[in-house]
Every structure is written in C-alpha cells, then in structure tokens.
Amino acid sequence: MNLLGIDIGTTHIKAGLFHADGELIRLAISNNHSFENEDGCHFRPDEMWKTARQVINEVTVDFQDEIASIGITSMAESGLLLNKDTGEYLSEIIPWFDRRTERISEEIGKEIDSLKQFQKTGLRNNYKHGLAKILWLKKNRPNCLTNAKWLSTSDFLAYKLTGEIGTDYTLAARTFAFRMDKKEWDIPLIRHFGLDSSLFPDAKPSGTKMGVLSPEAAGMLGLKQGVPVAVSGHDHVCAALAAGAVKPGIVLDSMGTAETIVGSLEEKKLTQEDYESGFNFGCHVLSGRYFWMGAIQSSGGSVEWIRNQLSDNQLTYDAIASYLDQFPSEPTGILYYPYLAGSGSPQPDAQAKGAFIGLKSTHRKGELLRAVLEGTAYEFEHMKRTAAALGISRVSELIAVGGGSKNKHWLKIKADVSNCPLSIPSLEEASLLGAAAIAGLGCGIYKNEDELLSQLSREDVRFVTPDVDNYHKYRIIFEEGYMSLQQPLRTFYQKNL
C-alpha cells in the first residue's frame, strides 16, 4: 500500500511515492516555469498541469496498481480563476510573490479593522493573499469573475485529477476571506468587497477526500480509476507534520532561501498580543490545533548574497565550509541584520534594510561568512523569545530541514545562540511526505492521528547540542548589541531611505 504526494512549489513541482511507514520509494522533480507579461509574473495552468503529469508518471511507473491515495500540497497564496462548469481558465496562476496587487492591498487595509480581521483569519493584510488577487482581477478583467471559482494551486491540481472543486482549511485561510475561528468563509467581508460567495470553493479539513481519480486523468497517467485524491494543505505545515513538529514547544525550522518557523498550539481565540507578535496563525493539518508561523525573509538568501560578494566566481559551498573551518567556533562580535528583502516576524517591515556593524580591517572572509550565519541565528532567537514572552510557545526543541540543515557550522551557531538542541531527521522531502501522509489519514489508510504519527516517527536523527559557554557570550551580544540597535536602525532607515 503506497501513498503518492505532490508538491507544487515556487521553483519546482515534485512527486514522491512513499510506503505507509513514510519510507521514500521514488522521487521526481521538475522545474515549475514562471512567465512575465505587462501585469507581472505568472504560471500557465496548462504548463503546470503538464509538468505535474510528468513527475507523477515518473514515480508511478511499475506501481500503477499499488497507490492507495494521492495528497497535494503547494505554495500557499498562489491561485487562479476557473470556470466552474466548463473548466476554462479565466486567469493565469498568480503566484504569491507577484506584487501587482500592492495597491489593491492598501485599499483593502482602509476597509477593515486590522485587529478584528487578524482574530478571524490569523493574518495581517498583505498583497500576497488571494483576496487581493481576486480584487485585482475584478478591477482589471471584470468579465473573468462570471461563473468563476478561485482555486489555489493544490485545488487546481485536485480539480484536474478528479473534476471536483474544493479546498482545505489551511489554503482557504490564505485568501484573507476565510474565518479560521469558525472554519467558514467570511460572507459579510466577501460581499463588502462586491464579490459573490459562490466564488470560493467548499473548504474541508486537510486530507479530506476531495474526489477520486477520473477516467480521463487515470488514462493520461496510466493509473487506476477511483484512487482518492485530497488537498493536503499548506506546504510548510505538511512539512512540520512529516518532521514530527506537531506538539507545543517542538518547532520546525525550514532553512531555505527564506527561513520559515512553524509551531503548533491548541485552538484558541487570538488576542491583541498574538497580533502584536508579528506571527501568522492558521488551522493546522491535524484536528484541534492551530499553527503559528514566522519567517526570516533572507536567511539562505543572505548566504547566497555573500557568496556572490566575496568572489568574482561564486564561492562553492565547499569553499565556504573551508573558510569557516579556519576560525574558532565562537562569536565574531560582528552584528549582521539579515533584512535584504525586509524583515518578517516578529517585526514585519517590508522597508527594513540589512546592515553589518562592528567590522574591522582585520576581519577576513571566514569571519564575514560566520557573521552572516550568526545574524540569521540572532533573528531566529528574536522570534523564539517573542513566542515565549507572549505565551504563544516556549520552544524546547528545533527540528531542522531544508538546504541549510546540511551546513554544520550554521546548525552549531543556531544551537549556541538559542541554547536549544537541534534535531536533523533523515528526511529528504518533508512537504511531500506530509502531503502523502495527511491524505492517507483523510482517506482512511491510517486509523487515526496517533497511528499516522507513530508511522512517521524516525530513529535516524542526528542531534546538535548547544555549547553553554558560547551561549552566554552570544546572549550578551544579542541582548546588548543586536536587540538594542534594532529600533535606532529601523528609525534611521524609515526617516532617511
């Protein structure tokens, strides 16, 4: 009995076939091509569907009759309008990062009570959200809303596989028009903006069977008809499930170009303090829980930036490791603020700027590289302390996944700065496995959540423990340097740049 997971990401589309115990059988990855026009960046629906078919075919060959369920995860806010009767594409797929909707988002902000909307949605107003995209389409292509449904990229692929339209709670919430507190669409808000509530698909718990593989899709893919298909939800939350970061205090640290922190908490009414934390909240893929999420916009992005600056030919990762090996594993004393693309939680500010402070003529490449890694670790500590101070979560363990988790120096710095142990599971594709697993739960492959979690538990985990002496040194630098200079720097840039 095998589970198929599909992940529609910003740069790649992936398919993975797993045993029910989470063991990866086969993996296929292909580029997710984006395009530019006068409006901005977009994905082409037919191109995305073609690529998805290719990766599905790659992993299911020789296993066509052994697939028990299909689960789909994706980048959260990307989506399109589709004619609900004919299946015609009424728009391109607008990605989460496309900024054509900034002015629309500003207009939304004038029409809402930010705190009350946060308490309903777990989100702050942002150009990324589906509502801003829909209102942009309404303004610029008014005819495309006739007989339309708004689908996330996961919903779109589920529709192509089954012919059925629906979504899950985690992706519905990223529209900014779904009430996570009541798990229903915010009809008054939708109507306030001149939209019909029929525009939004039925929302169900993550992993709920959305439909079954249609004869047409089965024929294209060479698979059995009738295989259940589910929208598994937000990619980062699926990854947290697969990695085992589902209990309060245990946090997923997804170390990529942007670094995303995902923790869990029991469902509750969101407060003013939660709003002021800068974190986002949403429905978890597991029942009775919310997730909280923070981000460092340029974490791995800072590493890529410094790689380009320190050499005419981009430094290799082996060269970076060699430079770092030349220096002792202790604080550099340099402060680096990783705000190359603005700052995320707990002080979200799109206009924040990066900075180095404390440089000397004797500093060399290895120390600059280490300082960049320290800066991202200080920013993580800022999030960690904010979550604890506001009663959201006291972080006791980090589970690190993603490309950055392969960097031993980065992991050790993070452990020392946070005084928190890190575990690194032997897990290649956390989002894919989470998508496959939550669909398996929703489609009856697992009896309950406990069985699912026991099947996904891993023994092949390596650990990185903090050095107490280093922690005390870093704590002084963090408190008296990194944090004390935060507000003066932000104020200066706000006034002058």
Question: Per residue in 249-283, pLDDT tens?
Answer: 899 998 888 889 999 999 999 999 999 899 999 99
Residue 496 has pLDDT above 80, yes or no: no
Q: Rounded to an integer, what distance in angstroms lies between the CA atom of residue 413 and that of residue 474?
A: 9
pLDDT for position 208: 96
pLDDT band at 489 (very low <50, low <70, confident <90, very high): confident
pLDDT for position 335: 97
Q: Rounded to an integer, what distance in angstroms lies between the CA atom of residue 184 and that of residue 253?
A: 29
Q: Rounded to an integer, what distance in angstroms lies between the CA atom of residue 117 and that of residue 115?
A: 5
Residues 101 and 175 sit within 8 Å (Cβ to Cβ): no
- Chain segment 213-253, per-residue pLDDT in tens: 999 999 999 999 999 999 999 999 999 999 999 988 899 99
Picking from 258, 260, 262, 259, the residue whose alpha carbon sits closest to that of residue 286 is 262
pLDDT for position 305: 93
Question: Tell me, what DSSP letter sits at residue 304?
Answer: H
Residue 427 has pLDDT above 90, yes or no: no
Picking from 85, 129, 89, the residue whose alpha carbon sits closest to that of residue 108 is 129
H or E element in which residue 400 lies: strand 397-401
- Chain segment 434-487, per-residue pLDDT in tens: 999 999 999 999 999 999 999 887 778 899 999 999 999 999 999 999 999 988
Percentage of residues in the chain having pLDDT higher than 70: 100
pLDDT for position 108: 97
pLDDT for position 14: 96
Termini Cα distance of the chain: 58
Domain range summary for the chain, segments of one domain joined by +: 2-237
* Residue 433, beta-bridge partner list: none
3-state SS class at 494: helix
Identify the residue whose tokens are 């990529």. 256
Q: In this structure, what token pair is assigned to residue 417?
A: 């700065």
Q: Rounded to an integer, what distance in angstroms lies between the CA atom of residue 393 and that of residue 457?
A: 22
- Chain segment 26-56, per-residue pLDDT in tens: 999 999 999 999 999 999 999 999 999 999 9
Q: What is the mean pLDDT of the chain?
A: 93
H or E element in which residue 417 lies: helix 408-418
pLDDT for position 50: 97
Residue 113 has pLDDT above 80, yes or no: yes
Q: Rounded to an integer, what distance in angstroms lies between the CA atom of residue 406 and that of residue 425?
A: 11
Q: Which residues of 325-361 are buried (b: 16+ CB within 10 A; e: fewer)?
A: eeeeeebbbbbbbbbbbebbbbbbeeebbbeeeeeee
- Chain segment 71-111, per-residue pLDDT in tens: 999 998 999 999 999 999 999 999 999 999 999 999 999 99
What Rg do the C-alpha atoms of the chain give, in angstroms? 22
Q: Rounded to an integer, what distance in angstroms lies between the CA atom of residue 68 and that of residue 60?
A: 12
pLDDT band at 341 (very low <50, low <70, confident <90, very high): confident
> How many degrees, rounded to 5, is the angle at CA 52 between CA 34 and CA 74?
70
Q: Rounded to an integer, what distance in angstroms lies between the CA atom of residue 191 and that of residue 370?
A: 52
H or E element in which residue 355 lies: strand 355-357
pLDDT band at 364 (very low <50, low <70, confident <90, very high): very high
* Residue 72, beta-bridge partner list: 6, 231
Tell me which long-range contacts 194-197 makes (C-beta under 8 A, separation of at least 24).
194/138, 195/134, 195/135, 195/138, 195/145, 196/145
Write the CATH number of the domain with boundaries 2-237.
3.30.420.40
pLDDT for position 188: 97
pLDDT band at 135 (very low <50, low <70, confident <90, very high): very high
Q: In this structure, what token pair is assigned to residue 166?
A: 């629906």
Percentage of residues in the chain having pLDDT higher than 90: 80
pLDDT band at 330 (very low <50, low <70, confident <90, very high): very high
Picking from 26, 117, 394, the residue whose alpha carbon sits closest to that of residue 15 is 26
Q: Is the peptide bond before 346 cis (omega within 30 degrees of 0)?
A: yes
pLDDT for position 63: 86
pLDDT for position 173: 95
Between the CA of residue 299 and those of 141, 204, 407, what are the distances in Å?
37, 33, 13
The larger pLDDT score, comparing residue 393 to residue 432, is at 432
Strand 335-337 and strand 397-401: the pairing is unpaired
Residue 141 has pLDDT above 80, yes or no: yes
pLDDT for position 461: 87
Range with the poorest average pLDDT among 122-131, 171-180, 349-358: 349-358
Between the CA of residue 233 and those of 8, 128, 472, what are the distances in Å?
11, 17, 40
- Chain segment 288-328, per-residue pLDDT in tens: 999 999 999 899 899 999 998 988 788 888 899 999 999 88
pLDDT for position 349: 85
What lies within 8 Å, CB to CB, of 219 at 6+ separation is none
Q: Rounded to an integer, what distance in angstroms lies between the CA atom of residue 432 and that of residue 428?
A: 9
Q: Rounded to an integer, what distance in angstroms lies between the CA atom of residue 116 and that of residue 123?
A: 10
pLDDT for position 65: 79
3-state SS class at 276: helix
Residue 493 has pLDDT above 90, yes or no: no
